[in-house]
């Protein structure tokens, strides 16, 4: 009886078979590969696009990115690529690793420990990549 598949499992298998038939390269596709297509924007450009360029009294780009990180963490850290990209941009905008960690930890009160832990793990991946680049 335990060999029976749920409708969801059957649907996933069918979708994977269809994708493989259409393009065999999709068999090994991972959404994480899209991240390399999105460059880390220079701090100055982020400030123009997301900072005080259009609203001089508004939030700077770093603060906006922290709000984005908080929101992504609140979603249960389901948007893995978006979290990693946001952490990369935060570090580029001048945020410290400690500030990133604190922002994610703050969300434990609102999103729960599992969401915070997942986001922290994703952020650590990015921060570890940065350390490898320096070596």
Domain membership of residue 108 (yes or no) is yes
Q: Residues 81-92: what's their mean pLDDT?
A: 94
* Total number of domains constituting the chain: 1
Domain membership of residue 82 (yes or no) is yes
Domain membership of residue 26 (yes or no) is no
pLDDT at position 2 is: 61
Residues 6+ apart with CB under 8 A from 62: 90, 93, 94, 95
pLDDT over 70 for what percent of the chain?
83
pLDDT at position 133 is: 63
Q: DSSP for 72-109, please give it.
A: HHHTTS--HHHHHHHHHHHHHTT--HHHHHHHHHHTHH
The answer to whether 66 and 46 are in contact (CB under 8 A) is no
Domain membership of residue 16 (yes or no) is no
pLDDT at position 127 is: 94
Domain membership of residue 40 (yes or no) is yes
Question: What is the domain extent for residue 39?
Answer: 34-134
pLDDT over 90 for what percent of the chain?
42
Q: Residues 88-99: what's their mean pLDDT?
A: 95
Name the pTM for this structure.
0.68
Domain membership of residue 10 (yes or no) is no
Domain membership of residue 24 (yes or no) is no
Domain membership of residue 111 (yes or no) is yes
Digit-coded pLDDT (tens) for 16-70? 888 788 887 766 766 666 677 777 777 777 777 776 777 778 888 899 999 999 9
Q: Give the helix/strand (H/E) hosting 40.
A: none
Q: How far is CA 78 from each of CA 21, 55, 57, rounded to the nearest angstrom?
A: 28, 31, 32
What CATH code is carried by the domain that includes residue 111?
Answer: 1.20.1290.10
Residue that wins the pLDDT comparison between 131 and 89: 89
pLDDT at position 134 is: 63
Average per-residue pLDDT in the chain?
Answer: 84
């Amino acid at each position: 009886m335990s060999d029976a598949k749920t409708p969801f499992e059957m649907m996933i298998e069918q979708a994977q078979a269809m994708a493989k038939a259409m393009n065999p390269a999709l068999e090994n596709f991972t959404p994480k590969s899209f991240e390399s297509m999105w460059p880390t924007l220079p701090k100055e450009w982020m400030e123009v696009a997301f900072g005080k360029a259009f609203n001089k009294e508004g939030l700077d780009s770093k603060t906006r990115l922290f709000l984005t990180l908080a929101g992504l963490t609140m979603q249960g850290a389901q948007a893995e690529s978006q979290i990693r990209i946001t952490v990369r941009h935060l570090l580029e905008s001048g945020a410290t690793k400690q500030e990133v960690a604190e922002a994610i930890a703050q969300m434990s009160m609102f999103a729960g420990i599992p969401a915070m832990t997942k986001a922290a793990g994703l952020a650590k991946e990015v921060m570890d990549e940065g350390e490898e680049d320096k070596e």
